[in-house]
Amino acid sequence: MPDDHQRELEIARRVQSALVPVGLPSAQEIDMASLYLPCSTVGGDLFDVIPISDNVLAFLIFDVSGHGVSSALIASMAKASFINHIRSLVSPRSVMERVNSELQEHLTGDYFVTAFVAYLDLHNNKLAYCNAGHTYPLIFRKEDNSFLPLRTSGLFVGMFEDGHYEEKNSYLNPGDWLVLFTNGLYELFNPENELAARKSFEQSAHAIIGASSPASFVQWLESLHRQRKDGKPISDDIGVIAAEMLTQSRRDRIKEQLGFSMSDPVYLQFISYFEEMDRAAGIILREMDEFGYPDESIRKMKIALTELLANAIYHGNNKDHGRKVTIGHLVDKNAVKVSVMDEGAGFSIAAIPDPTLPENLEKDCGRGLFIVRSYIDKLEFNDRGNRVTIWKYHTLGAQP
The pLDDT score that the predictor gives to residue 229 is 60
**Which residue range forms the structural domain that includes residue 128?**
2-246
pTM exceeds 0.85, yes or no: no
Tell whether 223 and 260 lie within a shared domain: no
- pLDDT per position as a tens digit, 15-27: 777 788 878 887 8
- pLDDT per position as a tens digit, 51-67: 998 789 999 999 988 77
Output the domain CATH number for residue 25.
3.60.40.10
Average pLDDT over residues 116-121: 96
The pLDDT score that the predictor gives to residue 355 is 56
Tell whether 217 and 317 lie within a shared domain: no
Average pLDDT over residues 375-387: 94
Per DSSP, the three-state class of 380 is: strand
Output the domain CATH number for residue 311.
3.30.565.10
Question: 174-178, 255-259, 396-400: lowest mean pLDDT where?
Answer: 396-400
Tell whether 227 and 308 lie within a shared domain: no
Tell whether 261 and 188 lie within a shared domain: no
Q: Residue 395's CB: how many other CB atoms inside 10 A? A: 11
Q: Residue 102's CB: how many other CB atoms inside 10 A? A: 19
Tell whether 217 and 330 lie within a shared domain: no
Question: 30-44, 144-158, 208-222, 311-325: lowest mean pLDDT where?
Answer: 30-44
Please determine, for residue 2, whether its predicted confidence score (pLDDT) is greater than 70: no
Structural contact between residues 85 and 62, judged by C-beta atoms closer than 8 angstroms = no
Question: 79-83, 109-113, 261-265, 386-390: lowest mean pLDDT where?
Answer: 109-113
Rg over alpha carbons for the chain, rounded to the nearest Å, is 23
Of 246, 273, 302, which closes a domain? 246
Name the DSSP class of 312.
I
Residues pairing with 102 in the sheet: none
Please determine, for residue 226, whether its predicted confidence score (pLDDT) is greater than 90: no
Model confidence band, residue 397 (pLDDT cutoffs 50, 70, 90):
very low
Tell whether 258 and 386 lie within a shared domain: yes
What's the number of domains the chain is made of? Answer: 2
State phi, psi for 44 to the nearest 5 degrees. -135, 35
Tell whether 167 and 205 lie within a shared domain: yes
Tell whether 291 and 242 lie within a shared domain: no
Q: What is the dihedral of CA 312, 318, 319, 322, to 10 degrees?
A: -90
Q: Identify residue 292 by its one-letter amino acid code.
A: G
Name the DSSP class of 274.
G
Model confidence band, residue 139 (pLDDT cutoffs 50, 70, 90):
very high
Please determine, for residue 91, whether its predicted confidence score (pLDDT) is greater than 70: yes
Of 246, 273, 298, which closes a domain? 246
The DSSP result for 209-232, as a single string, is HHTS-HHHHHHHHHHHHHHHHTSS
d(CA 330, CA 188) in angstroms, rounded, equals: 42
18, 79, 145, 162, 197 from 8: Cα distances, Å: 15, 20, 46, 34, 33
Q: What angle do CA 278, 317, 328 make, to 5 degrees?
A: 50
Tell whether 213 and 254 lie within a shared domain: no
Tell whether 272 and 199 lie within a shared domain: no
Tell whether 137 and 21 lie within a shared domain: yes
Of 213, 230, 246, which closes a domain? 246
Please determine, for residue 396, whether its predicted confidence score (pLDDT) is greater than 90: no
Tell whether 28 and 160 lie within a shared domain: yes
